[in-house]
Amino acid sequence: MSAAKTRAQKLIDDNAVVVFSKSYCPYCDSSKKLLDGLKADYTTLELDLEGSFRCARLGFRFPGDLTPLICPQFILSWSIANVFCAEEGSAIQDALLEISGQRTVPNIFIDKKHIGGNSDLQAKKADLKDLLQGLGAIKDA
């Protein structure tokens, strides 16, 4: 099993609710807003921010214990940063295609079962709170 597939499967297995997402995707935002509105306890993996170079607000975080670049003169735009960050995220998307048959985001799993995307989650809105409560995936108020 590839490292990307192992990582994706571990997230699915270890969390009641997982949303594989991209930070700029409006459908992903809609799914996360629905879950936030229900006070759901869920895990999100932003696939466009994954890679051997970790994007940080003020530059890049390099692998290992190297200090992130924080000097404003060296900050690159997010579009350039995404070139470095997208490699691992793309591999995870490929792995999700193998796991679920879906490569698009959001790619949502609840109780280790593939739910689908945003429209599939929205279609479950009426029963979603009960489902999440049954899994213990609602945050205490």
Single-letter amino acid, residue 91:
A
CB 42 within 8 A of CB 35: yes
Structural domains present in the chain: 3-53+81-129 (3.40.30.10)
pTM above 0.85, yes or no: no
Which pLDDT value is given to residue 53? 43
Q: How far apart are CA 18 and CA 109, in angstroms?
A: 5
Q: What is the DSSP letter of 40?
A: B
- Rounded to the nearest integer, the mean pLDDT of the chain is 80
Q: What is the largest CA-CA distance in the chain?
A: 50
| Residue 59 reports pLDDT greater than 50 | no
| Residue 95 reports pLDDT greater than 80 | yes
Q: How far apart are CA 120 and CA 60, in angstroms?
A: 35
Which pLDDT value is given to residue 139? 82
Which pLDDT value is given to residue 1? 75
Q: What is the DSSP letter of 117?
A: S
Name the token pair of 49. 């921010």
Of 121 and 86, the structure prediction assigns the larger pLDDT to 121
| Residue 58 reports pLDDT greater than 80 | no
